[in-house]
Chains A and B, each alone.
Chain A
Amino acid sequence: MVTYLFTGLFTLLIGYLVYFEGVLRVDVINNPYNSRQETFAEHVIRGKILASDGTVLAETLVAPDGTETRSYPYGAIFAHVVGYGSHGRSGVEALGNFNLLTSNAFLPERITRELKEEKNVGDNLVTTLDMDLQRAAFAALGDQRGAVVALEPSTGKILCMVSKPDFDPNEIASQWEHWNSLESQDSVLYNRATQGLYAPGSVFKVVTLLAYLRENPEAEETTFSCSGSLTQGEYTISCYGKKAHGTQSLQKAFANSCNTAFSQIGLELDLTAFSRTCDGLLFGKELPVPIPYSISSFALKPGAGDHERMMTAMGQGQTMVSPMHMALITSSIANHGVLMEPYLIDRVENYTGELVRTWKPRVYGALMTDMESQKLTEYMEQVVEEGTAKSLKNLPISVAGKTGSAEYSSDKSKSHAWFIGFTTEEERDLAVCVLVEGAGSGGEHAVPIARVLFEAYYSGRRDSEND
């Protein structure tokens, strides 16, 4: 008996050790606190980072005297998502550090190089990033501050991720001090797409709508009358530009982004159920995002006052959200309610292009039912059909979306421009989230950027069909 017990215990140890070396190892090694990573760099030349079509985004150039320089041919365009490979590392450079510093070249070649005391060549990472979308988003955002994220809803592939203001990772060594100093107030190294938290404004109405539909089976028959503002006690909520929308259905109120109607909804909603819906959409929760991000917050507690309820329902109040998080919610609406885990690294190849490992799409879970996602899609289609995103109507592909203009300070004239949306054809394979800091209304400033992305996506798809 004693023999079996202890043999069992020892087998457990061996089993765990095997599991650790086989499965947990890569994540543990990749931890930024692991100073042992540096020792890999003494034996291996860091591998390349490639876009999905094979374009080189980062590579290590070795001078004749052996000096290594990390070069980023596209400079600022991929700055945040590809990241930098020294000074603490970020983006894919941090995420895939272990793979970049591991060589799976042909074994005899590796041994020959060891023998000659030459460095081996590290593996290449092929990312999910789309050259056209990334370049289009970068150009469309221009000099404005903000972020753009595009995902492939059916797989979770991150197709593009732009954050501005940007930096040129080729200058990391010379500019590091400056970028981190207090006098540089741009926080260029900060990835606004995942780490920036903003008031969501009207894009949050998607969440309020979902909660309202869940709570009231007859919600769709409800009509709202809007005189341009709603006064409850001493507080008044106004529609954008004080526009009076008149009598309208729920669908119209959503399409017009009517604040009056949504404040009304906010007063009606059961706060516990509202909180539960937000929990289910990962507010205040960890996101399955592979690079550093900030956790979104939804702070409406049961017993909150009228003003806070009205503000929160229309996306103001204490709610804060990252563009990446809004992109994930959008992507799950596009994918029948199911959220796929977003990922950046598609596969690892050795330097001659032989496959080492691929990442398979993984389901995170259903954020809503298929029925609910269909309903939300319908409402979001109306936004494009006749609402605040009408300018997307004449695109060659059909899309659905929601605009937002989020006030963020006491100056009511300033607002962040938001847009979330996705393609609604058979294969709904693009979900986007655009945020422009302090630009004004979403319809005027975020939608045009989304339009560029949809167009780039469409022409890219047409090209590949013609091939």
Chain B
Amino acid sequence: MTNLIVELSKYGLAILAALYTLMSFFILKQKGAGQEKGFGLQRVILFFLHFLAYAVMYLQAENDKLLVFYVAQVLLVSLVQILFQAVYPGTNRLVLNNMCFLLSVGFIVLTRLSYDGAVKQFQIALASLLVCFFVPFLIRKLGFLSRISWLYGGVGLFLLVMVMLFGKNSNGAKLALSLGNNFALQPSEFVKILFALFTASRLAKSTALWDVAVTSLVAGAHVVILVLSKDLGGALIFFVMYLIVLYVAAKRPLYLFGGLAAGCVASFVAYQLFAHVRVRVLAWSDPFSYIDKEGYQITQSLFAIGTGGWFGMGLFQGTPNKIPYVEQDFVFSAVAEELGGIFAICLILVCLSSFLMFVNIAMQLREPFYRLAALGLGTLYGFQVFLTIGGGIKCIPSTGVTLPLVSYGGSSLLASLLSFSIIQGMYLLREDEETKIEKEKRVPKREKTKKIKKES
């Protein structure tokens, strides 16, 4: 009987994921109450998806702790939904729903891979969400955020240098600073946010040649330090984000193409200089010839995805733990193996839908700093998703970055939740901007102050 339920649940999970995904694209076409209803339905679908996955895992693992863990997750997600919507009525429902979807998928996969790891992830999520809850409020209150560019740049560079000098060596790359015995921090995850804010604040102020040169120099310093720490994925993400924000701010294609050309030259030089770059490229171009060593991780990942097929092996039916670093860099492959190719494609599309919403929010903002910051954070997110999934399916060489909100890892999770909340906060600003303009147009000054008071 369990066998049958596992078998049928594969199709159920794929269908629910597909429904959720379709709705994230089509709800936006509707207006007003219909849209609100749609988002509500999306939450119901997510609830059933999450329930079905845990039911299947409980039937097989027969571990009562799972029940408690499941209830805790439902409470957390419900609380996030209720609190955000109550305190910030203008909350962007799609960003909020997608955040919950990705978190839930992360919990499901991590529970499958390692129960203890998932519990740790849950605790970090709880603490992070507590912090994130105040982020939109702070963004609205702290007007000086756009003026402290050197603080962002300085702190960011300082943290990166600290990692380069004192970082723990894992897999040849220096990523983390140990603080105490079993607590390690990956500062580059947070520096990403600082870097986006730095870039946005500098370029919002001026895109004159001299200023661009100075900004680019500091941005280049970030990238070079990351390369020296051998965090190639990170370096690439920083680089691409900077180019895109620069292009949008200055509106000069020359910057984009010049930057891309420089990037190509730099990649070539890196390929010649660093052995670990060549290993990654080799493992990508011909993994099966080096299956015992360089290509081991990627071939295990391909075996996992291939064996899973369109509908997956079913939860607990595969062997995703054979992929080294599956919880961090190859979590997508674990999803594809047990939940199937269709579910995996839905996951890509939900990430895309989040990204598109981020860019959409950015483009609606009038204040250049917020606009560029939202765009920067969105680009960081989008490109990181591209790198990790592309690496996992051997579409591009693997760079060893995490899938935001799904992968295991406290720093990554907190930083991703912060990004989502910052963008959420900026979305709420947009509403302020709109009401401000409307009132300036129509309402006499006296009434305006009154209304604002009422609002706050």
Q: How large is the interface on A (under 10, 10 to 19, 20 to 34, 35 or more residues)?
A: 20 to 34
Q: Report the minimum CB–CB distance from A376 to chain B (whole Å).
A: 35
- Cα distance A39–B345 in the bound complex, in angstroms: 24
Cβ contact of B355, chosen from A6, A16, A117, cutoff 8 A: A6
Within 8 Å of chain A (Cβ to Cβ): is B389?
yes
Q: Contact string, B229-250, partner A, CB cutoff 8 A, digits 1/0?
A: 0000000000000001001100
Given contacts A2-B379, A14-B348, A28-B306, contact A115 B299 (CB under 8 A): no
Within 8 Å of chain B (Cβ to Cβ): is A53?
no
Contacts of B318 in A (CB 8 A): 36, 39
- Cα distance A247–B390 in the bound complex, in angstroms: 69
Enumerate B28-67 residues with CB–CB distance to A below 8 Å: none
- Tell me whether A16 and B307 are in contact (CB under 8 A): no
Within 8 Å of chain B (Cβ to Cβ): is A31?
yes
- Cα distance A35–B303 in the bound complex, in angstroms: 9
Enumerate B110-158 residues with CB–CB distance to A below 8 Å: none
Contacts of B394 in A (CB 8 A): 20
B-side interface mostly: helix
- Tell me whether B352 and A35 are in contact (CB under 8 A): no
- Tell me whether A18 and B345 are in contact (CB under 8 A): yes
- Tell me whether A21 and B341 are in contact (CB under 8 A): yes
- Tell me whether A36 and B341 are in contact (CB under 8 A): no
Within 8 Å of chain A (Cβ to Cβ): is B313?
yes
Cβ contact of B309, chosen from A18, A25, A117, cutoff 8 A: A25
Within 8 Å of chain B (Cβ to Cβ): is A12?
yes
Enumerate B370-402 residues with CB–CB distance to A below 8 Å: 375, 379, 382-383, 385-386, 389-390, 393-395
- Cα distance A417–B178 in the bound complex, in angstroms: 71
- Tell me whether A28 and B303 are in contact (CB under 8 A): yes
- Cα distance A13–B305 in the bound complex, in angstroms: 14
Within 8 Å of chain A (Cβ to Cβ): is B218?
no
- Tell me whether A24 and B306 are in contact (CB under 8 A): yes
Residue of B nearest to A115 (CB): B4
Enumerate B294-323 residues with CB–CB distance to A below 8 Å: 299, 302-307, 309-310, 313, 317-319, 322
- Cα distance A33–B244 in the bound complex, in angstroms: 42
Q: Report the minimum CB–CB distance from B285 to chain A (whole Å).
A: 15
Contacts of A6 in B (CB 8 A): 352, 355-356, 359, 379, 382-383, 386
- Tell me whether B299 and A13 are in contact (CB under 8 A): no
Q: Which of A17, A31, A39, A115 has the most CB of B within 10 A?
A: A17
Cβ contact of A10, chosen from B247, B322, B336, B351, cutoff 8 A: B351
Within 8 Å of chain A (Cβ to Cβ): is B103?
no
Enumerate A33-61 residues with CB–CB distance to B below 8 Å: 33-37, 39
Contacts of B248 in A (CB 8 A): 1-2
Residue of A nearest to B320 (CB): A36
- Tell me whether B303 and A17 are in contact (CB under 8 A): no
- Tell me whether B319 and A13 are in contact (CB under 8 A): no
- Tell me whether B393 and A17 are in contact (CB under 8 A): yes
Contacts of A117 in B (CB 8 A): 3
Given contacts A20-B306, A25-B309, A117-B3, contact A39 B317 (CB under 8 A): yes
Q: Report the minimum CB–CB distance from B365 to chain A (whole Å).
A: 14
Within 8 Å of chain B (Cβ to Cβ): is A395?
no
Q: Report the minimum CB–CB distance from A145 to chain B (whole Å).
A: 32
Given contacts A2-B244, A3-B356, A21-B341, contact A16 B319 (CB under 8 A): no
Within 8 Å of chain A (Cβ to Cβ): is B291?
yes
- Cα distance A39–B305 in the bound complex, in angstroms: 14
Contacts of A9 in B (CB 8 A): 382, 386
Enumerate B319-377 residues with CB–CB distance to A below 8 Å: 319, 322, 336, 341, 344-345, 348-349, 351-352, 355-356, 359, 375
Q: Report the minimum CB–CB distance from A426 to chain B (whole Å).
A: 43
Given contacts A29-B306, A117-B3, contact A16 B352 (CB under 8 A): no
Q: Report the minimum CB–CB distance from B136 to chain A (whole Å).
A: 24
Residue of B nearest to A37 (CB): B307
- Cα distance A279–B303 in the bound complex, in angstroms: 34
- Tell me whether B304 and A36 are in contact (CB under 8 A): yes
Within 8 Å of chain A (Cβ to Cβ): is B189?
no
Enumerate A51-110 residues with CB–CB distance to B below 8 Å: none
- Tell me whether B307 and A36 are in contact (CB under 8 A): yes
- Tell me whether A114 and B7 are in contact (CB under 8 A): yes
- Cα distance A24–B351 in the bound complex, in angstroms: 25
Within 8 Å of chain A (Cβ to Cβ): is B268?
no
Contacts of A114 in B (CB 8 A): 3-4, 7
- Tell me whether B299 and A29 are in contact (CB under 8 A): no
- Cα distance A36–B301 in the bound complex, in angstroms: 11
Within 8 Å of chain A (Cβ to Cβ): is B166?
no
Within 8 Å of chain A (Cβ to Cβ): is B274?
no
- Cα distance A5–B344 in the bound complex, in angstroms: 21
Within 8 Å of chain A (Cβ to Cβ): is B257?
no
Within 8 Å of chain B (Cβ to Cβ): is A232?
no
- Cα distance A117–B355 in the bound complex, in angstroms: 44
Contacts of B393 in A (CB 8 A): 13, 16-17, 20
Enumerate B241-295 residues with CB–CB distance to A below 8 Å: 244, 247-248, 288, 291
- Tell me whether A36 and B351 are in contact (CB under 8 A): no
- Tell me whether A35 and B395 are in contact (CB under 8 A): no
- Tell me whether A16 and B303 are in contact (CB under 8 A): no
- Cα distance A29–B304 in the bound complex, in angstroms: 9
- Tell me whether A7 and B356 are in contact (CB under 8 A): yes
Contacts of A34 in B (CB 8 A): 303, 306-307
Which residues of A are in contact with B by a Cβ distance under 8 Å?
A: 1-3, 5-7, 9-10, 12-14, 16-18, 20-21, 24-26, 28-29, 31, 33-37, 39, 111, 114-115, 117
The 8 tightest CB contacts between A and B, nearest first, are: A28-B306, A36-B307, A16-B395, A34-B303, A10-B352, A25-B306, A21-B341, A29-B306
Which residues of B are in contact with A by a Cβ distance under 8 Å?
A: 3-4, 7, 244, 247-248, 288, 291, 299, 302-307, 309-310, 313, 317-319, 322, 336, 341, 344-345, 348-349, 351-352, 355-356, 359, 375, 379, 382-383, 385-386, 389-390, 393-395
Additional pairs, 15, CB under 8 Å, beyond known A7-B352, A12-B390, A114-B4? A2-B248, A3-B359, A6-B359, A6-B379, A9-B386, A13-B386, A16-B390, A16-B395, A17-B345, A17-B348, A21-B310, A29-B306, A35-B303, A36-B304, A117-B3
